[in-house]
Chain A
Amino acid sequence: GESVGLHLPTLSVQEGDNSIINCAYSNSASDYFIWYKQESGKGPQFIIDIRSNMDKRQGQRVTVLLNKTVKHLSLQIAATQPGDSAVYFCAEMGTGNQFYFGTGTSLTVIP
């Protein structure tokens, strides 16, 4: 079956540093991936997505990298700010109707 996992459950970074959050997936048929940010007491908020025909996609201060060879996804946040503190989820979708979500990485930004 499919599985989505995160290498690190927690991550602490200094304000202004870059953050990298990693995600592994197991289904080679997955072809669409999303990163979400979830702040305490709120629903997940879309950050960025990437399709399997791409290796890299950039947004505002965020970059998602997809390595299909090793089935690895990463989210890079540039110049991390205190407002970036949240739980970050990756999600994958393959041939079915479902997104499969990881359990999340908690990012804490130290002022």
Chain B
Amino acid sequence: GAGVSQSPSNKVTEKGKDVELRCDPISGHTALYWYRQSLGQGLEFLIYFQGNSAPDKSGLPSDRFSAERTGGSVSTLTIQRTQQEDSAVYLCASSLAGLKETQYFGPGTRLLVL
């Protein structure tokens, strides 16, 4: 079956521009996570959506980062006024029921801010 998909797969942008990253979770999965992975580093939690509940935004590194999840399915991570330190792989994961369930990851979006 279809897994988690993310788009674009690669994004190059100039410092100061806004970017939008998209995640399509597995159909029926109520939970969705965004992570950031810098080169050679582990995954850094950004935000968690569960059903219609208010998202857990505790991992967002600054107010330039925001995320939405429309209709309980597709999610968009927006980075405003991008900085070079935002360059990383942004990974999305979904799970069937939320916390402490297996997370299935997408391939990631590789963001490069010049």
Q: How many A-B residue pairs have CB under 8 A?
A: 58
Docked CA distance A99–B91 (Å):
13
Candidates B43, B99, B105; contact of A45 at CB < 8 Å: B105
Cross-chain contact A104 with B59 (CB below 8 angstroms): no
Q: Which residues of A contact B106 (CB under 8 A)?
A: 43
Size category of the B interface is: 20 to 34
- Give B78-104 as 1s and 0s: 1 = Cβ < 8 Å from A's Cβ atoms: 000000000000010100000110111
CB distance from B102 to the nearest CB of A (A): 5
Cross-chain contact B59 with A43 (CB below 8 angstroms): no
What residues of chain B have their CB less than 8 Å away from a CB belonging to chain A? 4, 33, 35, 40-45, 48, 50, 56, 58-59, 91, 93, 99-100, 102-108
What residues of chain A have their CB less than 8 Å away from a CB belonging to chain B? 4, 31-32, 34, 36, 41-46, 49, 51, 89, 91, 93, 96-104
